A and B are shown apart, each in its own frame.
Chain A
Amino acid sequence: MAEGLDLLKQEWKKQNKNLPKYSQNELYSMLQKKSTSIVKWIFIISILEFLFWIGIEVLTYLYDFNEIIDQVNLTYFYRITLIINYVVIITFIALFFSRYKNINVADNSKKLMKSIIKTRNTVKAYVWFNVVIFIFSFIVSNYFTLQHMEIDMEGFIWGYILAVFVIMLVFVGLLLLFYRIIYGTLIRRLYKNYEQLKKLEL
């Protein structure tokens, strides 16, 4: 007599009559509903991330820092970072869309998971690039501003550096927390499954 999984396999085939049956109308109305797939969520969140950083960019432009920048002799530095920024943002958005389009639910499971993770990582890399650029320009502009102000109160400078350091730490910490919450819940299961399939092939 069959036992274990093979017993279930014998019975498995007999279940067709006991499965629910949806009518064409029910199926049709299901197709009208919106998908709640993680790919859709990743897409929405990624677009929001792009918009967020572009927004920051626009804000700094609107505030017209040019005058301050000119004052502290940072025009050259500012222009270079601006160009790098635009090149990078266009590259990342193009890469993101091409990878997003490559997600094909009819691929094999491993390939599908890989393409979802790759799409996600594109945006992640973009965000980290922004954080690094943000911190870097923050430090450089502060350094030059301080130099320009010609303040030689040692205590003040150290206090200032400490404050800047703490602000950055909080900023990066918040960002990490955001990622843990948003993507932790969204992509953890997918990542775990992908690792499992990958481990099999070692």
Chain B
Amino acid sequence: MNNKLEKKFIDLLEQNQNIVHKICRIYAYDEASHKDLFQEISIQLWKAYPKFRGDAKFSTWMYRVALNTAISLYRKKKRSIRTTSITEFEFKLSEEKYDDETEANLKLMYQAIKELNDIDKALVFLYLEDRNYKEISETLGISEVNARVKMNRVKKKLKELINM
């Protein structure tokens, strides 16, 4: 592939890398697996890039390829001993200091998300990213109605996990 195309792609990837990092935050378990998944997603994006026609927004296309890589293509390395508590690396959402209750709630929610299966994680991720149901359904390949139904179920499941 030619250098000009590669340069253009790296520019786009650099500008939009937050999307990939956020997916890694949902699917990876520590800093090393975060980097590993990020790398695989970047490779898949680059491999698919020549076919990207530009009829969709780059970011929309990126959501799809990146999530697909995390769900379907990525081969998890043998997990190192997983601690039950989430690390500062995974959780550091904001510079702000939260009050204890909010922080506890956020951590619990984050931890509960980590317990979900791959598909539910994808739904939660797209929800957190404020994608509409049409886009969610198109990304996952399910109907809009089912995306809504499923999302409600996931919310309920999260509530149960937190109250456990």
Contacts and interface: CB of A to CB of B under 8 A. Distances in A.
A28 B93 CA distance: 27
Interface size range of chain A in the complex: 35 or more
Nearest to B43: A35
A4 B158 contact: yes
Given A5-B127, A31-B46, A41 B75 contact: yes
A19 B18 contact: yes
Interface string B55-93: 000000100110111011111100000000000000011
Given A8-B128, A24-B10, A35-B44, A105 B69 contact: yes
Contact of B43 (A4, A31, A106): A31
Nearest to A194: B72
B143 A201 contact: yes
Given A9-B128, A19-B21, A109 B52 contact: no
A11 B52 contact: no
Interface in B96-117: 96, 102, 105-106, 109-110, 113, 117
Nearest to A37: B73
Nearest to B31: A20
A192 B71 CA distance: 11
A4 B51 contact: no
A190 interface: yes
Q: Give the interface SS of chain A, mostly helix, strand, loop or mixed.
A: helix
Interface stretch (A84-92, A110-118, A138-146, A159-167): A110-118
Secondary structure type dominating chain B contacts: helix
A23 B15 CA distance: 10
Given A18-B95, A193-B119, A30 B39 contact: yes
Contacts of A22: 14, 17, 38
A36 interface: yes
6 contacts: A5-B158, A9-B130, A106-B48, A109-B139, A113-B72, A197-B141
Interface of B: 6, 10-11, 13-14, 17-18, 21-22, 25, 34, 38-40, 42-44, 46-48, 51-52, 61, 64-65, 67-69, 71-76, 92-96, 102, 105-106, 109-110, 113, 117-119, 122, 124, 127-130, 138-143, 146, 149-150, 155, 158-159, 162
Interface of A: 3-5, 7-9, 11-24, 27-28, 30-31, 33-39, 41, 104-113, 116, 186, 189-190, 192-193, 196-197, 200-201
